[in-house]
A and B are shown apart, each in its own frame.
Chain A
Amino acid sequence: MNTMNTQTTTPTNGNGENRPRLPIYLDYQATTPCDPRVVEAMLPYFTQHFGNPHSRNHAYGWEAEEAVEKARKQIADLIGADEKEIIFTSGATESNNLALKGVAHFQKDRKDHIITVATEHKCVLDSCRHLELEGFKVTYLPVQQNGLIDLEQLKAAITDRTAIVSVMAVNNEIGVIQPLAEIGEICRARKVYFHTDAAQAAGKIPLDVDAMKIDLMSISGHKIYGPKGIGALYVRRKPRVRLEALIHGGGQERGFRSGTLPTPLCVGLGEACAIAHREMGQEAERLKTLRDRMYKALKEKLPDIFLNGDLDKRIPGNLNVSFAYVEGEGLMMGIKELAVSSGSACTSASLEPSYVLRALGVEEELAHTSLRIGLGRFTTESEVDFAVEHIVQAVNRLREMSPLWEMAQEGIDIKSIQWAEH
């Protein structure tokens, strides 16, 4: 209880003093810590104000409902929506499932085509695969080398049978920002719904559902310093987007999503959105300075490193770098002081390296050498400098023991060798 008190009474100032010092957390695209202000807002709804927000007959229900509706408004405000257009879900995975399957199922008699992108999150791709099994046709748009889609290819892919276009706002691995307003324009002109998975974008970049002509948008709590287990789906009312529900029951959330709302989590997501809304501009600038400092230092100190994805059309808190001749998981083991992630195969059970990097045309051998470094609200300059120092040290050490580095130094082209794929 004492620890919790310390945490919640400390105003967040970005110094991260409440966290253990090591390993330094640089994986903000995987998840974010709850902002102590968020936790503080949530706590009363576990104990004093525990009512069921759907109870209409007493004060316990009313105060919970009030809290939930305030949170709904806070979420709506972040993306320029009306609170009636926000549906609470368990997270972005559910939101994406509901958007895609919900629209597809509702329209199946008239439209049976879906357009998405090869670099989408697995929950979008897997929902699409599932719909393919049901008989829907899916177009997976390729991306250009910088990770962005080609708008002409999108235009060409839309047919009279297209029900929905789903393009993520910001990619979770490489942080690139898709041209949302342009995509929205194209979709609206063809009367096709535009869904965007904004799990990595909400609270990081300005989003406006009207200006960008977005019809459905998925949001995640734990990517924006809110709690895990809560998310939201924005569903446009004018012109109305029709959905078939995935979860049936008491008809909560206008029948789109039954189940008792988890009041503390809703409050947490709302507070997280409100904080992000207030601080986004300043925070983005601070993160961009840190990110640029890090990338510049790495480039100065290490030859043969490559940034994956566009540098400019990118959220400020993301770096995805290939360190040629050094395998990603081997590298991560050498930087135990840092918590980062890798696009290498070895981090997962599969032997394939990151499908996102492959979709950019990054060659497999380079995809195996990538690190994703995520900076966030509690990252400090000294942490960035510390990280650079350790990464440089580890890369140099591992290159000294890399046969590929040795060949490169001897001028042998590793592509000229006939490797035995295993």
Chain B
Amino acid sequence: MAYSDKLLDHYDNPRNIGSFGKNEADVGTGLVGAPACGDVMKLQIKVGADGRIADAKFKTFGCGSAIASSSLATEWVKGKTLEEAEKIKNTEIAQHLSLPPVKIHCSVLAEDAIKAAIKDFREKQTDGASGKAGDKAAE
């Protein structure tokens, strides 16, 4: 299977690998996928006082397409408001990386990871930062 240069670049030089403290109030964590399915993505956002995503980090267990999709997702969410980030579609990720059809689910997972991170952040704001979401896989 031939992969696009953009995909290979994200695989070889992934952006924003790492973790934030998942209990920090300004951090939202999305953990999606399942080890038994061969894909797990952890995507975290750090939200600034202005309501924009100031920074993002990821860690991914998965194939090259999954790694590239999550790397790209962290790049795209940075600088966006939560509402803007929520609008990122898996089809845009798939198109940008020219994912082959059998790898579309990787982009779906990346979109899910963004949404899960945002949801976790919002819940923290309303619940007063319980910080438990990181222990539980979102959908």
Is chain B a partner of chain A in the same complex?
yes
Give chain B residues whose Cβ lies under 8 Å from the Cβ of A401: 14, 17, 58-60, 67
B97 at the interface (CB under 8 A from A): no
The residue from B38, B61, B109, B135 contacting A402, defined by CB atoms under 8 A apart: B61
Nearest chain B CB to A400 CB, angstrom units: 7
12 contacts between A and B (CB under 8 A): A333-B3, A345-B38, A364-B35, A401-B60, A401-B67, A402-B40, A402-B59, A419-B33, A420-B34, A420-B137, A420-B139, A422-B33
A292 at the interface (CB under 8 A from B): no
A264 and B32 alpha carbons, distance in the complex (Å): 55
B70 (CB) vs chain A CBs: closest residue: A401
Q: Give 9 nearest A-B pairs by CB, closest first.
A: A365-B35, A419-B34, A364-B36, A403-B42, A329-B63, A333-B64, A368-B38, A403-B59, A346-B63
Q: Which of A285-330 contact B (CB under 8 A)?
A: 325-330
A166 and B31 alpha carbons, distance in the complex (Å): 45
Give chain B residues whose Cβ lies under 8 Å from the Cβ of A4: none
Chain A interface mostly: loop
B64 (CB) vs chain A CBs: closest residue: A333
Residue contact B40 to A403, C-beta cutoff 8 Å: yes
Check A417/B135 contact, CB under 8 A, given A351-B37, A368-B38, A401-B14.
yes
Check A422/B61 contact, CB under 8 A, given A400-B17, A417-B135, A417-B136.
no
Give chain B residues whose Cβ lies under 8 Å from the Cβ of A412: 135
Give chain B residues whose Cβ lies under 8 Å from the Cβ of A402: 40, 59-61
A403 and B37 alpha carbons, distance in the complex (Å): 14
Give chain B residues whose Cβ lies under 8 Å from the Cβ of A334: 11
Nearest chain A CB to B3 CB, angstrom units: 8
B102 at the interface (CB under 8 A from A): yes
A364 and B11 alpha carbons, distance in the complex (Å): 24
Check A422/B34 contact, CB under 8 A, given A333-B11, A406-B59, A417-B137.
yes
A3 and B39 alpha carbons, distance in the complex (Å): 45
A403 and B43 alpha carbons, distance in the complex (Å): 10
Count residues of chain A with CB under 8 A from any CB of chain B.
33
Q: Which of A336-394 contact B (CB under 8 A)?
A: 344-346, 349, 351, 353, 363-365, 368
B19 at the interface (CB under 8 A from A): yes
A353 and B14 alpha carbons, distance in the complex (Å): 26
Chain A CB within 10 A, most for which of B58, B59, B135: B59
A404 at the interface (CB under 8 A from B): yes
A190 and B11 alpha carbons, distance in the complex (Å): 57
B79 at the interface (CB under 8 A from A): no
A406 (CB) vs chain B CBs: closest residue: B59
A364 and B138 alpha carbons, distance in the complex (Å): 20
Count residues of chain B with CB under 8 A from any CB of chain A.
34
Residue contact A330 to B34, C-beta cutoff 8 Å: no
The residue from A330, A346, A400, A419 contacting B35, defined by CB atoms under 8 A apart: A419
Check A414/B33 contact, CB under 8 A, given A329-B63, A403-B42.
no
A338 and B33 alpha carbons, distance in the complex (Å): 28
A421 at the interface (CB under 8 A from B): yes
B53 at the interface (CB under 8 A from A): no
Check A330/B67 contact, CB under 8 A, given A403-B60, A420-B139.
yes
Check A421/B36 contact, CB under 8 A, given A330-B66, A403-B31, A403-B41.
yes
Residue contact A422 to B109, C-beta cutoff 8 Å: yes
Give chain B residues whose Cβ lies under 8 Å from the Cβ of A353: 38
The residue from B3, B19, B32, B64 contacting A420, defined by CB atoms under 8 A apart: B32
Residue contact A365 to B36, C-beta cutoff 8 Å: yes
A282 at the interface (CB under 8 A from B): no
Check A327/B33 contact, CB under 8 A, given A345-B38, A403-B40, A403-B41.
no
B105 at the interface (CB under 8 A from A): yes
Give chain A residues whose Cβ lies under 8 Å from the Cβ of B19: 406
Residue contact B137 to A346, C-beta cutoff 8 Å: no
Nearest chain B CB to A193 CB, angstrom units: 39
Q: Which of A395-422 contact B (CB under 8 A)?
A: 400-406, 412, 414, 417-422
Residue contact B35 to A404, C-beta cutoff 8 Å: yes
Residue contact B64 to A419, C-beta cutoff 8 Å: no
A364 (CB) vs chain B CBs: closest residue: B36
